[in-house]
């Protein structure tokens, strides 16, 4: 970690909303990457790491204040099964942070240069032309413009993804929980990855798609081994009132209230249609900032590893209606999960900053 205190608290002290990125895997697939693998997006880390860099860069250009690394399914155990050594596995886990940091730093340098040019044009009475010249784009092509509305925003963050034990199992268990393993087994699984991600210099950890209170407790306790590190904790949901294993969401929020290193609490990869009610439940149960980054509403089939239309499918609503409603309900960190794109994040950013 960078040792500068709670980065989420600092950003939210100056800005009403922190905007996250959207789906990484969806974008990788859209650009031709094959994720049909137990390692999922971590396969691309092995074979085409520059594609991950480009997706991160696209999200920063779209207006994201924070990009989440490709380490969701990058684990020591998973890479060992692939024939890598433990040292090689830890190096790859650290590389997920390096790719996101490089994209962030390249974007920031690019933006600073454009901002300087805009300022010079404004001084010559040409602000209208400057704004048009800096119009944002969420594409992946080199040299595309950056949203002029970012002018007052801080340097973006890098969040290192810490996926659940169920993601390593690659059988959909992150939407079920009930692993049947001990706390000690979960600690041994998560500790080396946490160490590698923190050492690589992530600004914050994204403990995400957590389906069980047991795993949340283990992760929150483990984080205390690095007193200068901070994380958010986002759960997968069964419905608006309970996480995937069935534990009440309010109980999970109350349990984590006593862990100051957990900088925010919320949900991810739940349908947008139930997110608003979940935010209300959380707001009544925690004093921590609330984070939401739902999926498109489609349903994931763990057997075929494909997405299908579901009763809650409403990806457009994330942009047009729901983000505003979630903010009014109490969410202060908003983005997208599976099946969302830079276009969705750009629309949220423009709505809030335009």
pLDDT tens per residue across span 236-294: 999 999 999 999 999 999 999 999 999 999 999 999 999 999 999 999 999 999 999 99
pLDDT given for residue 312 in this prediction: 43
Confidence class for position 217, pLDDT limits 50, 70, 90: very high
* b/e per residue 312-345 (b: at least 16 CB within 10 A): bbbbebbbeebbeebbebbbbbbbbbbbbbbebb
pLDDT tier at 354, thresholds 50, 70, 90: low
pLDDT at 225 over 70: yes
pLDDT at 307 over 60: no
Banded model confidence at residue 141, pLDDT cuts 50, 70, 90? very low
Q: What is the C-alpha separation between 237 and 213, in angstroms, rounded?
A: 12
Query: Is 333 a residue whose pLDDT tops 70?
Result: yes
Cα 94 to the center of its chain, rounded Å: 17
Q: What is the pLDDT of residue 196?
A: 98
CA dihedral 283, 287, 293, 297 (to 10 degrees): -20
Q: CB–CB of 168/78 below 8 Å?
A: yes
Mean pLDDT of the chain: 86
pTM for the model: 0.87
Q: Confidence class of residue 304 from pLDDT cuts 50, 70 and 90?
A: very low
Identify the weakest region by mean pLDDT among 51-55, 94-98, 144-148, 210-214. Answer: 144-148
Instruction: Give the DSSP H or E segment for 294.
Output: strand 290-295
Reported as a pLDDT band with limits 50, 70 and 90, residue 297 is: low
The secondary structure of residue 72, as a DSSP letter, is: T
Give the pLDDT confidence score for residue 305 in this predicted structure. Answer: 47
| R_g over Cα of the chain | 19
For the ranges 32-46, 52-66, 223-237, 243-257, the lowest mean pLDDT is seen at: 32-46
Which carries the bigger pLDDT value, residue 128 or residue 158?
A: 158
Exposure string of 189-209, with b = 16+ CB inside 10 Å and e = fewer, is bbebbbbbbbebbbbbbbbbb
Report residue 115's pLDDT band, with 50, 70 and 90 as the boundaries. confident
And the tokens for 340? 């969302």
**pLDDT tens profile 197-208:** 999 999 999 999
Token digits of residue 328: 């009014």
Higher pLDDT: 156 or 127? It is: 156
Q: Which domains does the chain have, with CATH numbers?
A: 7-353 (3.20.20.330)
């Amino acid at each position: 970690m960078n040792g500068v205190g709670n980065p989420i608290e600092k950003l939210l002290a100056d800005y009403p909303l922190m905007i996250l990125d959207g789906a990484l895997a969806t974008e990788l697939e859209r650009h031709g990457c094959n994720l049909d693998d137990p390692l999922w997006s971590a396969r691309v880390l092995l074979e085409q790491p520059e594609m991950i860099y480009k997706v991160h860069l696209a999200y920063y250009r779209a207006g994201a204040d924070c990009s989440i690394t490709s380490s969701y399914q990058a684990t020591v155990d998973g890479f060992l099964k692939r024939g890598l050594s433990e040292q090689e596995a830890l190096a790859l886990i650290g590389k997920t942070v390096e790719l996101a940091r490089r994209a962030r730093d390249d974007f920031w340098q690019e933006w600073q240069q454009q901002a300087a040019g805009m300022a010079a044009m404004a001084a010559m009475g040409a602000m209208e032309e400057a704004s048009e010249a800096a119009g944002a784009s969420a594409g992946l092509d080199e040299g595309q413009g950056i949203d002029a509305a970012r002018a007052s925003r801080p340097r973006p963050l890098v969040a290192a993804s810490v996926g659940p034990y169920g993601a390593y199992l690659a059988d959909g268990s992150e939407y079920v929980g009930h692993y049947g393993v001990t706390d000690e087994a979960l600690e041994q699984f998560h500790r080396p990855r946490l160490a590698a991600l923190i050492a690589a210099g992530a600004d914050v950890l994204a403990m995400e798609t957590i389906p069980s209170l047991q795993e949340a407790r283990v992760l929150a306790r483990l984080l205390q081994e690095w007193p200068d590190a901070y994380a958010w904790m986002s759960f997968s949901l069964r419905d608006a009132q309970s996480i995937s294993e069935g534990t009440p969401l309010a109980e999970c929020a109350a349990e984590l209230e006593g862990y100051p290193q957990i900088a925010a609490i919320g949900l991810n990869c739940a349908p947008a249609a139930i997110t608003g009610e979940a935010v209300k439940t959380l707001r009544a149960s925690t004093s921590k900032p609330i984070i939401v980054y739902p999926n498109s509403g489609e349903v994931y089939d763990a057997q075929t590893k494909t997405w299908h239309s579901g009763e809650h499918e409403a990806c457009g609503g994330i942009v047009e209606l729901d983000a505003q409603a979630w903010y009014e309900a109490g969410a202060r960190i908003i983005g997208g999960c599976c099946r969302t794109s830079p276009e969705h994040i750009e629309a949220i950013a423009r709505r809030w900053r335009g």
